[in-house]
Structure 1
Amino acid sequence: MININTFYIEKKEPVKSCLLALRKIILDIDAITETQKWGMPCFLYKKQPFCYLWIDKKTLEPYILMVKGASLEYPGLEKGNRSKMKIFRVDANQDIPIDIIKALLKKALKLY
């Protein structure tokens, strides 16, 4: 298993900076901790998986994978072919929509 910091460090810019910023936004929420599952950063709330950070293999866009996404309605969330989770894509070449992401995360916390 690779070190969780290695996941971020080995990425190229601007994706690396985007992922690190997303990590900080998520970890700034009270009671969120970080671990690694399936080779990707996993964020836990009360020891339960809350969300993951990953990169789309085709578009190379970073995204936040919401574990309880099926129960979450929010602009910008995509279900795709997933049954339980949804993703929120972030364009690494644009300003990160911090307020939108914080609101999404706060709404998701209410499901726990």
Structure 2
Amino acid sequence: LKTLELISAPGFFEALGAKTERLVSGLTGAARAAGVPLTSNQVGGMFGIFFSDAEKVTNYAQATACDQERFKAFFHAMLEHGVYLAPSAFEAGFVSAAHSDADIQATLDAAAAALR
């Protein structure tokens, strides 16, 4: 019941979407700064990242054309920096209300290091 109470609060989903947008924008910015092609999709607290110079990835054929080896290397580098992402480039990531601004920033710092 507590979960229903929390998600019923005014602005809950807007805040969750904004937090996810901050993460996704930071990831794409870190990739851009490192000269790494990366695109992303986001809906609410759910996101996907794809190592590709495509503007958007919206289907399986586009997803399979992305750089799977680069995703694998990024996944392992993020683990080394203490951040666990979904292990497959075909899986979504999720941000929750439990993730703090400090968590988001730590993830972005880890990504900047992992993308170097």
TM score, norm. by length of structure 1: 0.44
Higher helix share: 2
Asked which structure has the greater CA Rg, the reply is 2
Q: Specify which structure has the bigger relative contact order, considering alpha-carbon pairs within 8 angstroms and separated by 6 or more residues.
A: 2
